[in-house]
Structure 1
Amino acid sequence: MAGTNAKAFLHVTDFEQKNGTVSLWYSNNKQETVDTALAQARACVEKVGPEHPTFTIRLASGAIALQQSINDTVVRYESRILLALNLVILIGCSLAYRSIVAGLLLLIPVNLANAMLTASMSLAGVGLDVNSLPILAIGIGVGIDYGIYLMTRICEEYQVANKDLGVAIRVALKTCGKAIFFTASLMTIGLAPWYFLSELKFLSDTGLLLVILMLINMVLALVLLPLLVYLIRPKFLDSDMSALSESLEKKSQTAVPA
């Protein structure tokens, strides 16, 4: 070490060469790996003891410890973020449809979609972190759009079809449902290459999650939401939907002939 700059050994010791560092390398920073690494490190310190006559053992920082800190923060704020989004959407939709039942009906599919997305993430080995947490928030926004479109169309057709809910749902699915299917399919096709072609893990995981998200929200909007409306038969179906849309019949009645 004679004639060597002390900076050359900063990865193992300090300038005075009194405090040293033992670094461990891991294949990835997934939650399972992080939990195992921290458990083993704590068990090692407990076994040999932290205090010794000539030195003291302390757990320091690093990629594993930083990842655990991030994961703890994500877990702590995930429920708060999703709860705030649900509350805002519930208030907005309840005011628009003049019924709290409408807001609850629209929230059921999107929250079920988030639960299914979380399960898919677990199966695909994608952890919940600062990169994947926004996808859950985006899922609520995407799913609620599909639900509002279809719900409004069902209300319109219900009033036109002489209060026949079955006919209203079928017509809504044949018209607005086709548009939802086309939009979701087109966006899915555009996002799928992210997963297969991207060399960046963030973009690859994002592409995979968005594709799964679009498909789940589309299926639940076209299947679960009409089923809930048909079974519950909410009273807001008779409400005036002019604030949300304008029917073609009203336009044709007010049109001036050429």
Structure 2
Amino acid sequence: MTTDVTTTSSDATTAERATRCGFIGLGSQGAPIARRMIDAGFPTMLWARRPESLAPYEGGGATFASTVAELGACCDHVGLCVVNDDDVRQVCADLIPAMRPGSRIAIHSTIHPDTCRAIAQEALDEGIVVIDAPVSGGSPAAEAGTLTLMLGGDPEIIEAALPVFRSFGRLIVRLGDAGAGQHAKLINNTLLAANIGLADRALEAGDQLDLDRAALIELLLASSGRSMGVEVRGRMAHPTAFAHGASLLKKDMNLLGAVIGEKTDAFQTFRAAGADFLRRALGE
């Protein structure tokens, strides 16, 4: 498996800015991605199920499509950041037939790798190319243009898409063919869930030993026990404050189990570390 890492500047040339972009999925992460593309100078068309999602972009350099098909017919590069497999399938069912041969779709959603591969093949049959491109970093990194992109797809197609990706990403890594980016994202998110679960137990141990919780969190974040899990858990007054994030991490943990097998040692270890915290966060 070939791995290519790119950390180059986000500035696009005049020719690159001629790429007509589209974006679908203006949620907490997708909205700032779209804004970064617009601000980088790419002509960008947006579509949203809820018209109010488009309001922040009025008069801000974007155009709006009334349908997914209209957007597809106008764009060379379309980014998708919708919630789940069904959403991606539904959008692509309208998008792919409308796009011109040679156009590309970047799937930034976290979905089952098999779904990504199936859509990539459907698109290829119509002369459209798909890049498997989940992201990590959340809305703060999207707003700052410092997202991590985990890519799967043809190296030449990825190379052509880099000017767009650099408008919102800092670390851009190709991990293999379509599906490889999703594999990496599932591992990343399941590891985060496990780390949060371990951090939760560490803070529980501190409580049992009558340690000052705020001081313990500060110490752990500056010591060899530090992790993103400590940072995330340390911000919560109670696990239920993380219910939305927990629902997404549980989805991704289950997807990883489906991909590598729930009885594998790796998955058993992940689940043992994170499942109890996720249950409590979701009030189960």
TM-score, normalized by length of structure 1?
Answer: 0.29
Which has the larger Rg? 1
Higher RCO (CA-CA < 8 Å; seq separation 6+): 1
Between structures 1 and 2, the one with greater helix share: 1
